Amino acid sequence: MGQNVRVKRFATGCIDASLRACGGFLRVLFRLLGWRGISFLGKLAGDCLFLADRRRRGILEEELARLFSGRRERPGVRTIARKSCEHFAMRLFETAFFGSLDRRTTEAAARCEGLEHLDQALARGKGVILLLSHFGSFLLPLPFLGFRGYAVNQITGKQVHRGILAERIWLWRKREADRLPVRFRQVDRFLRPVYHALRGNEIVAIAFDGRDSSQWAIVDFFGRRARFSTGPFELARRTGAAVVPTFVIREPGGRHRIEFREEFRLSGAEGPEHAIEEDVRAFAKMFENYVERYPCHFGMVLYNLRRMPADQATALFLDA
């Protein structure tokens, strides 16, 4: 065994031991503070991040100014940027405690509107594509539904890790997420698990603005040309599954509102490619309306996409 291998194993063991200890500490902390207490700690961390990291703040304000060019005055961008940092940190803090959630705590963390739309879609018997976006605490609908007895699957793309630490943290977070009544399915090339879940009339959650797709439609988004995946709409047409748009909004006081919208009606335009492009365009407009109303729920996504290496993700905007 080479020395490099021994060093890597030693480092991995130390990291894993530290993360296990951290996990135990977090569960105790969650019992002491509760969901809202954890959210408040996240808010404080977000404020510190905004004040301390001038470079991040500058990039974030620049991206927000470009997004809302002609719609918002520059002074408003500073406020949105600060709230974006707060919401980002709050989401990270909350996600770290997902392994401690149960039905009672998810009910304390969130309320929902439009659950009847999801039930009506499931009544068709062909499964549901829960169309999420990287907007707000977008993973929260998964445990919220799972603890209520819904069969929920989350589709994830290929994972790319920068170094041992990032890899072990991701594995630790995955183990915490595996405590939830949710099946996380990594789909790189084969969609068989997705088709199987939909045939069983289960829920499959997919991110509309995910960057792992190989097929894109270019549509208008805030007056700019943006790429969005055609995958969810192609899947819906192939399987007959219903598409239920879902958004998560943080309300004053730290509680979330999960909005299950009416079933998305696929375009009846002639030609499959044109129809799918119309689907993407229509959903992008719906998504734009939410970002316009709650920009701080999306601000850090713009920053993260700006900072992500070009060989690891497809840019959202063509003029990026």
Encode pLDDT of 224-274 as tens digits. 999 999 999 999 999 999 999 999 999 988 899 999 999 999 998 888 889
* pLDDT the model gives residue 312: 61
- Indicate if the pLDDT at residue 72 is higher than 70: no
Listed range (85-89, 97-101, 163-167, 306-310) with the worst mean pLDDT:
163-167
* pLDDT the model gives residue 161: 47
- Indicate if the pLDDT at residue 114 is higher than 90: yes
- Indicate if the pLDDT at residue 2 is higher than 70: no
pLDDT, tens digit, 9 for 90 and up, residues 277-303: 999 999 999 999 999 999 999 999 999
pTM: 0.87
Mean pLDDT of 41-48: 92
Residue 17 burial (CB count, 10 A): 10
In angstroms, the Cα distances linking 203 to 88, 289, 309 are 26, 25, 32
Q: Compute the distance between CA of residue 189 and CA of residue 185 in angstroms, rounded to an integer.
A: 12
* pLDDT the model gives residue 38: 86
* pLDDT the model gives residue 164: 65
* pLDDT the model gives residue 178: 73
* 155 Rama sector, left if φ>0, alpha if ψ -120 to 50, beta otherwise: beta
Q: Compute the distance between CA of residue 80 and CA of residue 86 in angstroms, rounded to an integer.
A: 10
